[in-house]
Amino acid sequence: MTDLSMTKTPLLTVEHLTMRFGGLVANSDVSFVANNAEITAIIGPNGAGKTTLFNCITGFYTPTVGRLTLRHPDGKEFLLERMPGYRISQQASVARTFQNIRLFGGMSVLENLVVAQHNKLIRASGFSIAGLLGLPSYRKAESEAIDLAKYWLDRVRLLDFADWSAGNLPYGAQRRLEIARAMCTEPVLLCLDEPAAGLNPRESGELAELLTFIRDDHKTGVLLIEHDMSVVMRISDHVVVLDYGRKISDGDPAFVKNDPAVIRAYLGEDEDAELPAEVANDLPEVAQNDVKRAEEGA
Ligand SMILES: Nc1ncnc2c1ncn2[C@@H]1O[C@H](COP(=O)(O)OP(=O)(O)OP(=O)(O)O)[C@@H](O)[C@H]1O
């Protein structure tokens, strides 16, 4: 009998995605599949089109061309390119974080996580003030929202800071709070835009553990834009590489880090440029030598 837990099921299918801004092509004919309960990393040099891809998936932009199909584990399908952003988060259950932290700095840490669940609470209120004041279903939903918030605060080690103003937390803790806030919406797909930016190595290690927990214990699909290759190569099941808006490589971490096209993208075609340290540490020396030899022979 097939072990279904071992079967990869497509969660997000991106087909021929192109996004143009006037004459600038930020994404060009990009296709890939991100599976359910897997971490798919989107990497590439600055300006490669990673955030634009996220903006298309989450409804900030409508793609010029292409299809974005999200298939929930229960079989429900959503064509994201046809949906406005608020429906992508509310109905298709896609959550995201941004390159720049976007918490409600003046609210408490706990409030940030309860506010994230307002759709559930508003539904439970029966969409009325009377509901807010008295309905037992509202009180039950509110208490469940607080329980879920506490659960995620515990997971990101911020339970002791529940009453702090979110804006007063240290930077690394704010980054974790953003992920907890996204998880409080109970997404099927979590899109994280450079979650390790600005973290020290210990914090990056903790982030990697949190993301594998989200994948393994909650079976949530994670789409991860990240420049920190130590995090990407350690936790990703699948890596998609963009350069100048096009997909240049796609496979598991071992395949991608040995792919000469990827090494060339980071080195540049015709310069003696040094690889950035965080990339060089994770790309095998032998593959770099192959590229140098090929360039010398050319
Ligand atoms: N709203 C916009 N209008 C015009 N051009 C844009 C817009 N958004 C992005 N671009 C351009 O699209 C290209 C891809 O940008 P994008 O931010 O997607 O790259 P990225 O891979 O996320 O880069 P980084 O790693 O630096 O964040 C860039 O040339 C950028 O200037």
Same domain, 109 and 200: no
- C-alpha 117/C-alpha 167 separation (Å) is 20
Same domain, 88 and 43: yes
- C-alpha 154/C-alpha 64 separation (Å) is 42
- C-alpha 142/C-alpha 76 separation (Å) is 27
CA angle 105, 141, 38 (to 5 degrees): 70
Task: Report the candidate in 184, 213, 214, 198 with the shortest Cα–Cα distance to residue 112.
Answer: 184
Kindly give the distance from the C-alpha atom of residue 251 to the centroid of ligand 1, in angstroms, as a whole number: 24
Same domain, 179 and 220: no
What per-residue confidence (pLDDT) applies to 130?
Answer: 55
- C-alpha 164/C-alpha 168 separation (Å) is 7
Q: Specify the range with the lowest mean pLDDT, choosing from 40-44, 139-143, 177-181.
A: 139-143
Ligand 1 pocket check: which of 18, 19, 20, 21 to mutate, most ligand atoms within 8 Å of Cβ?
Answer: 21
Asked if this assembly's ipTM is beyond 0.90, the reply is: yes
Same domain, 158 and 10: no
Same domain, 233 and 285: yes
Kindly give the distance from the C-alpha atom of residue 245 to the centroid of ligand 1, in angstroms, as a whole number: 9
Same domain, 203 and 276: yes
Same domain, 106 and 82: no
Same domain, 243 and 149: no
Kindly give the distance from the C-alpha atom of residue 195 to the centroid of ligand 1, in angstroms, as a whole number: 18
Structural domain ending residue among the three candidates 185, 206, 231: 185
What per-residue confidence (pLDDT) applies to 50?
Answer: 97
Residue nearest to atom 10 of ligand 1 (CA): 26
Residue nearest to atom 23 of ligand 1 (CA): 47
- CATH, residue 208: 3.40.50.300
Instruction: Establish how many alpha carbons lie within 13 A of residue 234's alpha carbon, considering only the half-sphere containing its beta carbon.
Output: 17
pLDDT band at 199 (very low <50, low <70, confident <90, very high): very high
Same domain, 57 and 195: yes
The DSSP symbol for 83 reads S
Same domain, 160 and 288: no
Scanning the structure block, which residue is given the tokens 């299809």? 67
User: Given a cut of 70, is residue 76 above it in pLDDT?
Assistant: yes
CB neighbour list of residue 81: distance below 8 Å, 6 or more residues apart: 56, 62, 63, 66, 67, 68
Structural domain ending residue among the three candidates 124, 156, 185: 185
- C-alpha 92/C-alpha 187 separation (Å) is 8
Same domain, 25 and 67: yes
Residue nearest to atom 8 of ligand 1 (CA): 52
Structural domain ending residue among the three candidates 128, 150, 185: 185
Same domain, 201 and 135: no
Q: Which ligand 1 atom minimizes the distance to the CA of 19?
A: 12
User: Given a cut of 80, is residue 144 above it in pLDDT?
Assistant: yes
**Domain of 166, in residue numbers:** 102-185
For the chain, the domain total comes to: 2
Quote the pTM value. Answer: 0.84
Q: Which ligand 1 atom minimizes the distance to the CA of 48?
A: 21
Per-residue pLDDT of 228-273, as tens digits, reads: 999 999 999 999 999 999 999 999 999 999 999 998 888 665 444 4
- C-alpha 298/C-alpha 116 separation (Å) is 55
What per-residue confidence (pLDDT) applies to 298?
Answer: 37
CB 88, CB 60: distance < 8 Å:
no
What per-residue confidence (pLDDT) applies to 268?
Answer: 65
CB neighbour list of residue 6: distance below 8 Å, 6 or more residues apart: none
CB neighbour list of residue 275: distance below 8 Å, 6 or more residues apart: 263, 266, 267, 283, 288
CB atoms within 10 A of CB 171: 12
